[in-house]
Structures are given as C-alpha cells and as structure tokens.
Amino acid sequence: MEKERTPVDKKKKKVWIYNIFPRLLGKIENWQNHLDRIIWMGFKVLFINPISPSGASHSIYSILNPKAISPEYGSIEQFKEFLNRCHSEGILVWLDLVANHVAIDSPLVNEHPDWFIWEGDHPKNPGCIDNGQWISWKDLAQFNFSNPHLIDYLKSVIEYWLWIGVDGFRADYAYGVPPEIWKELIAHAHSVNPNVQFFGEALGCPPEEVVRVAKSGFDFMASSIFWWDGQQPWWPEQKALFEKESIKLVGFPESHDTPRCASYEEALLKLQRAYEQSEGILIPAGFEFGFRRKLDVVKTTPQWWYEEMPGRWNLSLKIRQLALG
C-alpha cells in the first residue's frame, strides 16, 4: 500500500534536496537504481530539471511542449510509477517549472502568437546580465504576461503535473515572471494541492528583488552562498535581510549552473557553508562522488555518469551525517 504523502514540515531547520539531472541519469527506469542510496544519504526531496521535449537547440530549458515527457526519458506511465515509488518511501518530488518562456520553435508560438512578446516579426528572446553584459537566449520565446489566456495556460501546466503526482516546483528564472503573476499561479496551485511547495530561483538579482519575488508566495528561494568567500560583507548583509523578511533559503555546494568543485577541500567547505547558512541544501547528482564535468543543459549524457565513476571522492557518509544529525 502506498504510504500517505506528508508535506515538508516548514518548521524543520533543514530540507535536503537531491537534484536528479535527467540528462545525466538517463531514462526514468534508471532513476530508481539511485533511490536507495539517495534515501540512505537522508534526502527527503527530489528536484528534477525539465523532462519535457526540447526544441532544436536541444537544451532541456528550451521546451516544445510543457505538458509532455520527452521520449528520451520514458513515458508518462513510467514517471507516474517513479513518483509512486518515491511517495511510498516518503520522498517528495519537485519538478522544474519554466514559466517565462518556451522554445522558439515550439508549436505554441504559431498557434498562439498573442501569448508572446514580439520584436518585429520575431518573438522576443529572454536573457540575463552576465558579468555586466546582456546575454540573449536565442533559442527561447518570451511569454507575454499581459494576456489572460496565457495565464490560464500556465495554470493548466501546473495542474497537469500536480495531477500526475508531483509535490512541488522549482521556478526557473523566477524573476522573469511578474510577482503578481506568481501570486495568481501559486494560489491556483494551492487550490489543486494545498501542500504544494514552490522554490524560486532568482540568483543574480539584487536582494530587494529576491524579497519581492519571494513574497509572491514562494516557500524557499535559492541562496547565493555558493559565491561567498567567507569574508566579504555582502552575504551577511543579504542573510540578515532575508531573515528579517522570513525568507527561507536553499543553499548548494554546486548546481547545474555552476562549475564542479575543484578539490575535496572546496567541496567539503561549500557543503558545510550551505548547511550552516541555509534552511535547505540542494545537492546535484554527482557532487557526492566529486564528478569533474560541469552539468550541461545540452551536452550531458548518461555516459558521463559511467565515465566519471567511481569519482574523485565519496561524500555520501558526510551528507548522511549532516542530513540525519
């Protein structure tokens, strides 16, 4: 009999999240082979990057159809079976929610052009500031959040995955969606599943902007602790602001967007720092074994796992001690 799912207790100090990077772990049927050791390490939440079909760029964040699973991972039935196994073990599953854009070659662009912002005869590309320069993501089409029909569609995307059985969402590029839209989407999600949780990613934003996004209904926000050198005052200042605003942070020693740790000492330091400075800790697949190659949203393949193993070290016991201690 399937065990009853219980929501993350928001009063607990730490939430341990294991990041299944689908291109690294391969097909859904193979994910289950990792569950026993993930559970042994003490993780209670799995976060899975997008598993929907990709556009021509092959990036997992360039999505053709947000309400589908890519055949490269398996079928919707196999995903449901995986969710059932996780829930039977008391593990919650959060899925990446890409609510700012779709692939520029998504059928939605032609079917619903009014759902997008246009620049001449081309959909606008979203982007970000990287080292002071604007980087435009040419493979993506920016949603137009002034269109109520788009908002209804995004609600339907959330409904789809909640009815499939996911327990929460990590909001990619959360600062790209207006906070008032997040309030509406999150409220709708709670009407479907009162226990659903949202984890927002607004890295690189000014702290005040992070607060503004967080206040739209997020249970957790991604922490910038990864980039702190242990001395600069910017982190203690941010942490004090977030504590004042009752914002819970998820720290990480690595993520799919960062380089892998260069040494065992760096990995241990960043793990300890994330643990001490955050209410949640996210560990990307491979960190525990000291994988060398940075995860890539286009190039990573399951072969990488076998090429990297047995890894440079094994932090599984250390993670277990922190998670269960």
Per-residue pLDDT of the chain (325 residues; tens, 9 = 90+): 344 444 544 446 799 999 999 999 999 999 999 999 999 999 999 999 999 999 999 999 999 999 999 999 999 999 999 999 999 999 999 999 999 999 999 999 999 999 999 999 999 998 876 667 777 889 999 999 999 999 999 999 999 999 999 999 999 999 999 999 999 999 999 999 999 999 999 998 999 999 999 999 999 999 999 999 999 999 999 999 999 999 999 999 999 999 999 999 999 999 999 999 999 999 999 999 999 999 999 999 999 999 999 999 999 999 999 999 8
Where b means 16+ CB within 10 Å and e means fewer, 105-138 reads ebebbeeeeebbbeeeeebbbbbeeeeeeeeebe
Helix (H, G, I), strand (E, B) or coil at 303: helix
CA distances from 6 to 47, 81, 91, 196 (A): 16, 18, 9, 10
2-16: b or e for each residue (b if 16 or more CB lie within 10 Å)? eeebeebeeeeebbb
Cα distance between residue 154 and residue 88, in whole Å: 29
Other CB atoms within 10 A of residue 88 CB: 12
Nearest to 102 by CA among 152, 150, 66: 66
Q: Are strands 92-97 and 220-222 parallel, antiparallel or unpaired?
A: unpaired
d(CA 189, CA 93): 15
Asked if residues 103 and 54 have their Cβ atoms less than 8 Å apart, the reply is yes
Distance from C-alpha of 186 to C-alpha of 220, rounded to nearest angstrom:
13
| pLDDT of amino acid 2 | 40
8 A C-beta contact, residue 226 and residue 270? yes
CA dist 205 and 75 (Å) reads 37
Pairing of strands 122-123, 118-119: antiparallel
- In the prediction, which pLDDT does 12 show? 61
What is the number of residues in the chain? Answer: 325
- Distance between CA atoms of 241 and 230, rounded to whole angstroms? 18
Q: CA–CA distance from 272 to each of 3, 253, 254 (Å)?
A: 32, 8, 12
- According to DSSP H, which parts of the chain are helical? 22-25, 28-41, 76-88, 107-111, 148-164, 179-192, 207-214, 234-244, 264-277, 303-308, 316-324
| Domains observed in the chain | 15-100+146-324 (3.20.20.80)
| pLDDT, position 315 | 98
Structure tokens at 60: 């997992």
Tokens 């000291």 locate to 290
Token pair listed for 296 = 């890539």
